[in-house]
Amino acid sequence: MSKPFKVDIAELKAQPCKPNNFIIGVMLKDIMASSALRNHGKLRLCFISSFPPNRGYLAEYAYQLINGLARNENIEKIVILADKIQSPEGTEKVVYPEKVKCVRCWARNKPASLPRILSNLRKFSPDIVHFNCGLMSWGKSRIVNFLGSLMPLTVKLLGYPVLVTLHNMGEAVNSDKLGIYRLNRLNSFGLWLATKLLSKVNVVVPLKRYAQILKQKYHAENVQYIPHGTLGAIVNHVTTGGKTVLTFGHFSEHKNLPLLIQAVKEIRENDGSLKLVVAGDSHPNRPGYLENIKKTYGHEPFIVFTGYVNDEKLKDLFETSTVVVLPYLFSVGSSGVFHLACSFGKPVIISDLPDYRDMLEAEGGAAILVPADDKQTLIESIKKVVGDMQLQKRLGEQNLKMAENLSFEHIGQRYVDLYRRIIAC
């Protein structure tokens, strides 16, 4: 398995971006000629995304995919046009591979991000531009996110081959409950229009049902399904036993942490050895959420709040857990935590939601599905997995096999193959 690269914050100095230097009248034939000269050889990729040391907003996914792409012999150079650093103090230091360069040239919630990104594209002249985004990647306001949805088509109109990895869709996200906005007629039309604009470029989705929505509702023609990806098989064999429930991620209301705490507390009435580990921090869109949970439940002796977990500590965290539980009220795309658990060969209990059924069926992973917000079924499922080491082994081995087949090295190669097909069109 390839070792994850690191980023040194001290070296991540944002290169100055000068929107006033942006020339909208770029020479399209020069761009296409430059790309055509190189498309028979190694590729120069521009990757636009949030990126570590920032957290959330698909930054962690971007980190792992870039790691896989950077090790691909068909990639000559990767320039990441990333958001400016806003992470808390104490975030791990990062160092980029030789072929990867990061330019911190845009910021969330800033409409000026569009000209800044376009200005930096002009300087780099890539073979292909890859956007990594979701419903709220560009900021909290509807206007900023709508402008973000314009960027891929704008870049395409300027003559660059473009690919978007679209991680979630308005049709699959409960916007009211997530607290993004009320789904009235105006917002529904805005979502439809934003998705329609995105569907005009080449799109990759991590769930097959998203591809069906784009094709049937938006009449999109250039849609591909590529699975989320994993860290590969990090462990050689599955470990079983113990009585530790692990939940992990960036927490907000939809991850339903109070229900899991109540479920574990009720199980402990008959089995006082069971404990719960809550690993992670508040989601950037919900600052202070986990801190409020700790104020309410922090006195409980069976709960351990670890805070944010660096990559170096992941192996110990997962290997000492018995089962990973994700009792979400609704989904916002494929589950990165599920794929992380698979890399460590862990059994998973997850809410029975359309996105997760799609994910399991398409990728070959294994999980115990429970109805969302059903505490009694969740209790019975936890008791079943914790008390059955053969079940732990069977689920864990299937997940470990899936993780090996869908490592980010393999996913990176699928993207490289797609890059070449797009450039050739």
pLDDT tens-digit series, residues 111-155 = 888 889 988 998 888 999 999 998 788 877 788 888 888 999 999
Average model confidence (pLDDT) across the chain: 87
Please name the residue ranges forming H helices in 161-236: 175-178, 185-198, 208-217
Task: Scan for tokens 């508040």, then name that residue.
Answer: 282
| pLDDT tens digits for range 285-340 | 788 999 999 999 989 999 999 998 988 899 999 999 999 999 999 888 999 999 99
| Rounded alpha-carbon distances, angstroms, from residue 281 to 4, 221, 304 | 21, 39, 13
Q: Give start-end residues of each CATH 3.40.50.2000 domain in the chain.
A: 9-229+407-424, 244-405
Rounded average pLDDT over 256-260 = 97
Tell me what pLDDT residue 171 has: 75
| Rounded alpha-carbon distances, angstroms, from residue 159 to 34, 113, 179, 324 | 11, 19, 37, 46
The token duo for 296 is 């309410």
Separation of alpha carbons 184 and 203, rounded Å: 27
Fold classification of 9-229+407-424 (topology level): Rossmann fold (3.40.50)
Tell me what pLDDT residue 175 has: 54
Strand partners, 130: 47, 163
244-405 to CATH, choices 2.30.30.90, 1.10.1740.10, 3.40.50.2000, 3.30.470.20: 3.40.50.2000
Residue at 263: amino acid letter: A
Separation of alpha carbons 55 and 336, rounded Å: 13
Q: For the chain, first and last CA: distance in Å? A: 34
Spatial contact of 347 and 323, defined as CB atoms under 8 Å apart: yes
Query: What predicted TM-score, i.e. pTM, was given to this entire model?
Result: 0.86
| pLDDT tens digits for range 357-401 | 999 999 999 999 999 999 999 999 999 999 999 999 999 999 999
Rounded average pLDDT over 28-45 = 60
- Would you tell me the crossing angle of helices 375-386 and 389-405 to the nearest 10 degrees? 90
Residue 81: CB atoms within 10 Å: 28
**Between 20 and 371, where is the model more confident?**
371
